[in-house]
Amino acid sequence: MRKSTYEREPQELLADYADALRDGRVPRFLRALTRREAKAVVDGEELGQAMETVRILNQASFADKAVMPDMGLFIARVDAKIAWRLKHGKVHTGAHRRGEVPSADRAGDGSQRL
Amino acid sequence: MGATSLGYNPPPWPSTKSTDGRGRGSSRGVNPMNRQLRNALRGLATEDLGRRRRAMEPFVRSTFGLFAKCLYRYLGNEVECEDILEDVYADIWESPDRISPATNEKELVRTVYLYYMRKHLRQVYRRLNRTMALPEGDLLEPVAPQQGILDVISQSEMQEVVHQALGRLKARERRAVEMWSQGLSHRAIANELKTTVGAAKMLLYRTLIKLRETLSEYACENR
């Protein structure tokens, strides 16, 4: 059956969304929506409520089982991102806007690690 | 074939068979911040970029679990959670003004979701779904919805609330939700309930709407 001619009922949409959320593949679910289904997802009050409950159940049931990363590595990744922003001058602080922090100082900060 | 014989884990909340859903001890109320988190937030309040950068480590350590669980609700995928949180933390470091007034964990998670996570959630889906039928303006709701009163419930509190709400359902409805939470497919749920897949989907749909009403009542009572 062609995707464009097949419109899923709300309960089928919910079942597919619930499975997608549980399996971590929400983008695939969203990509498979037809325009009418997308409208049902956005406008359907009952469907919206059921989807909200699915999200809560997903968190209550599975969030504790999620495998968390090595915290040291993750912090290093965050720090690298901060360093990148410092280096490329993408930081907008109040002090910077007022011209109180010279760019040389900011470059110095960028070379330090946590 | 029972759920346990399939090797799935039981849901995180206790069995509801012998309870009216009201008898458990309550952990309701606001989770105050621990000292480490309070200190980290204080460190982030400074204008000095270097000090703020050093304050990120304790801040990440104290909040990663909270933020990751919040994001997991919308993504269901640890790797995507990590990628988004990386940007979220960098944004917090860059402009921490929004989170400074937070006095407890709930407020902090809510503020971070609304002001830092949502835009990244949207960006991720915009990037991944160029061919999506969903118009740009409508993308936000299914991907990064506005938070309702239910969304500020903490993880521990949530499990208790879900347990209580399940206790008020009919046995068949409760069984369907519990089996879904154990990871069973709709076909397996239908087999277990001795019905068709379509009927199992409809049962879950109706049950989830009912469950949402019960959860809303709880949230209103404890506002």
Mean pLDDT by 10 residues, chain B (223 residues): 43 48 44 78 85 90 89 85 92 88 83 88 70 62 65 70 87 93 92 94 94 80 65
Closest in B86, B141, B153 to A78, CB measured: B86
Which residue among A48, A55, A109 sits closest to B74, beta carbon to beta carbon? A55
Q: Is the dihedral of CA B149, B125, B80, B209 positive or negative?
A: positive
Q: What is the rounded CA–CA span in Å between residue B55 and residue B49?
A: 10
Give the contacts of B7 (CB within 8 A, at least 6 positions apart).
none
Cβ pair A23:B76 closer than 8 A: yes
pTM beyond 0.80: no
ipTM, interface predicted TM-score of the complex: 0.72
Compute the half-sphere exposure of residue B6: CA atoms within 13 Å on the CB side of its CA.
16
- Average pLDDT of chain A is 75
Mutate to test the interface with B, among A21, A31, A57, A70 (most CBs of B within 10 A): A57
Neighbours of B96 (CB within 10 A): 20
For the purposes of burial, counting CB atoms within 10 Å of the CB of B178, is it exposed (0-12), middle (13-18) or buried (19 or more)? buried
Q: How far apart are the C-alpha atoms of A54 and A77, rounded to whole Å?
A: 31
Domain boundaries, chain A: 3-65, 71-110
Q: Would you say A81 and A91 are in contact if contact means Cβ atoms under 8 Å apart?
A: no
Nearest CA in chain A to B86: A78
pLDDT in tens, A24-42: 888 788 878 887 888 888 8
The tokens describing B201, both together, are: 């989907």
Helices of type H across A24-110: 26-31, 35-43, 45-62, 71-87, 94-97, 103-110
Q: Do A10 and B205 count as a contact with CB atoms less than 8 A apart? A: yes
